[in-house]
Amino acid sequence: MKARVHVSLKTGVLDPQGEAIRHALGTLGFEGVEGVRQGKLIELELAQTDPAAAEAEVKKMCEALLANPVIESYTIEIA
């Protein structure tokens, strides 16, 4: 089964890359973009077939490596 992990900077942590994207969108004429936050998407292929067990396992991976809890938050989608 597949798992998708979205990692993003926590609310309140400055995201200068998101801000640069916002400026570039403004330059292209896209108006009204009031904020941009950039994150990352990590897709995992898992041998596990039980969704609950897969989610528990991916949560451990997030805590151990995929996200830095000091600055980042994450969400997990199992499909």
Partner 1 sequence: MRAAVIVFPGSNCDRDMQVALQAVASAPVEMVWHKDTSLPKGLDLVALPGGFSFGDHLRCGAIAGKSPIMRAVSDFAHAGGHVLGVCNGFQILTETGLLPGALLRNGNLKFLCKPVALTVKTSASPFTSAWNAGDKAMIPIAHHDGAYVADPETLKALEGEDRVAFTYADGAPNGAVHDIAGVLSENRRVLGMMPHPERAVDAAHGGTDGAPLFRSLADALVSA
Residues near partner 1, by CB under 8 A: 9, 13-14, 16-17, 20, 64-66, 68, 70-71
Closer residue to partner 1 (CB): 52 or 70: 70
Closer residue to partner 1 (CB): 2 or 23: 23
Closer residue to partner 1 (CB): 14 or 79: 14
Tell me the two tokens of residue 46: 């898992």
Q: How far is the CB of 37 from partner 1 (least distance, A)?
A: 13
**Sign of the dihedral defined by the CA atoms of residues 49, 51, 56, 59, in that order:** positive
For residue 13, how many other CB atoms are within 10 A of its CB? 12
For residue 49, how many other CB atoms are within 10 A of its CB? 8
